[in-house]
Amino acid sequence: MNYKSTRNSKNIVTPSQAILQGLATDGGLYVPESFPSFDLNWEILSQYTYQEMAHFILKPFLSDFSDEQLKRCIELAYDNKFDTEVIAPVVDIDVKHYHLELFHGSTIAFKDMALSILPHLMKTSAEINNNYNDILILTATSGDTGKAAMAGFSDVPGTKIIVFYPKGGVSSIQEQQMLTQTGDNTHVVSIVGNFDDAQTEVKNLFNDSVLRDELQSSDSQFSSANSMNIGRLVPQIVYYFYAYAQLVKQGKIDAGSEIDFSVPTGNFGNILAGYYAKRSGLPIGKLLCASNDNKVLYDFFQDGEYNRQRDFILTISPSMDILVSSNLERLVYHAVNEDSERLSDLMEQLDTKGHYTLTDEEQAHFSIFLSDYVTEAQTKEEINIVYRKTGYIMDTHTAVASRAWRNLNQEGLSTNPAVIVSTASPYKFPEAVLVALGVEAETLTDQELLDKLNELSNIPYPPAIEGLLEAERLHDTTIEVSDMREFVRSIAK
């Protein structure tokens, strides 16, 4: 299977080349040329371990990896960095209502699902292509990608990683996790601006041919750890199949029947992987795109107009505070029947005018998507309601997805058994979660917050939290967006 750029269908590369490049040099994103059709024998699949499922799903998507190479990447990724052998547990919340917990990896957010394997995929891709360049990973983060990517790439030979995050735009635990990151090849700086500012400048740097030539002459090249990289996106398809298999195994659904997934959405990477799972044959009824107050995607699914011209709102679900969702470009590409000229024109409009609108016919492509947005008050209420009813404590992002599902379910729109995609541990956002539970948390120190959460939830401290607050801060740089280019050059040398 090959991948082609959304902005030029003649720009076709192998899976390993797509992973090495991250973004297409024409500014587009790589998408699969076609989708595999899996032989879904659920009797067999329901017995698969996470690692076996990963192998089954990734094989056709990474067709130039040998069986041995792929197995090795999977073994190195999904090991005891995860605090449970099942890697991604499906837990019961209520009748026909489940959570898929994707936060059992080393940084307790769902980004670990893909970022624990990406460094291995990238190294293997370099081997496949006899590419001996040093790889410089540039990443913009709204809080979770940065830590997970640094944890994955820390001290990986032949790589350097630079992470940019919005100063004041991430939780205190997220910031502490990033600033205490070890590894001589890891660099993290905050920028004066929001996530979109960071992401836009990272894209500009990728497409800066002068900078690229400079890197090339010192035998280095850029790549991306954002979900714009297919090596990040494809591993996320695995857990949709795995969740389904677990539900069959637990006797909760009949093999072949439809289920819905509700996904707390920011950059549209997670939910796009769900869409790719559907295109590859997984019986998904509806995909629920859940937004917070930055409801640009909700509006888009209502009337086909994507309009980024609006205020950027800082919320208690910061990893979803995004107005330009990069991966939507991939979905829109499929909606315009893979017409790269039409797609390029729309993206040009987004750049220059700040908005674009799809035709009715193009929008008809989105019938499997439902969408809702959830306010700050509703997010807190949802954490509270579910806790009082079941004792289960969810984080603020997951709560957005949970509430969106509840709303759409009550409207009779999402009626299949539903899986809420649970993207972070509540330990990552203890203050907001405790406030939602009615605790007067504002005056508590970070340690007191964690202890209080521990007491209420009975969830043992994840390894990611142990010792975190005492750890030494190893990074301390804040720069203007206009200085990001120079910063990158100084590290590249």
Of 147, 140, 137, the residue nearest 175 (C-alpha)? 147
* Cα–Cα distance for residue pair 227/193, rounded to 1 Å: 21
Q: Does 371 bind ligand PLP (CB under 6 A)?
A: no
Q: Reduce the DSSP state of residue 266 to 3 states and report it.
A: coil
> Smallest distance, Å, CB 424 to ligand PLP?
4
Angle, CA 201 vertex, CA 304 and CA 199 arms, to 5°: 50
- Using the minimum distance from each CB to ligand PLP, give the nearer residue, 119 or 269: 269
* Cα–Cα distance for residue pair 163/55, rounded to 1 Å: 29
* Cα–Cα distance for residue pair 280/260, rounded to 1 Å: 16
Q: Does 308 bind ligand PLP (CB under 6 A)?
A: no
Helix (H) or strand (E) holding 422: strand 418-422
Task: From 41-49, 50-58, 106-114, 337-345, give the range in contact with ligand PLP by CB under 6 A.
Answer: 106-114
Q: Does 424 bind ligand PLP (CB under 6 A)?
A: yes
Task: From 66-74, 199-207, 268-276, 378-386, give the range in contact with ligand PLP by CB under 6 A.
Answer: 268-276
Secondary structure (DSSP) of 60-73: HHTTTS-HHHHHHH
Out of 319, 340, 414, 457, name the contact with ligand PLP by CB under 6 A: 319
Distances (CA, A) of 348 to 118, 267, 355: 30, 19, 9
Q: Does 53 bind ligand PLP (CB under 6 A)?
A: no
Out of 29, 109, 140, 161, name the contact with ligand PLP by CB under 6 A: 109
| 138-177 footprint of ligand PLP as x/- string (CB under 6 A) | ------x---------------------------------
Task: From 198-206, 266-274, 462-470, 471-479, give the range in contact with ligand PLP by CB under 6 A.
Answer: 266-274
Task: From 75-83, 217-225, 265-273, 368-376, give the range in contact with ligand PLP by CB under 6 A.
Answer: 265-273
Classify residue 367 by burial, with Cβ atoms within 10 Å: 0-12, 13-18, 19+. exposed
- Using the minimum distance from each CB to ligand PLP, give the nearer residue, 48 or 427: 427
Strands 355-357 and 305-307: antiparallel
> Smallest distance, Å, CB 288 to ligand PLP?
13
Out of 111, 120, 232, 334, name the contact with ligand PLP by CB under 6 A: 111
* Cα–Cα distance for residue pair 272/287, rounded to 1 Å: 9
Q: Reduce the DSSP state of residue 261 to 3 states and report it.
A: strand
Q: Does 386 bind ligand PLP (CB under 6 A)?
A: no
Site residues, ligand PLP (CB under 6 A): 109-111, 144, 227, 264-270, 319-320, 397, 423-424
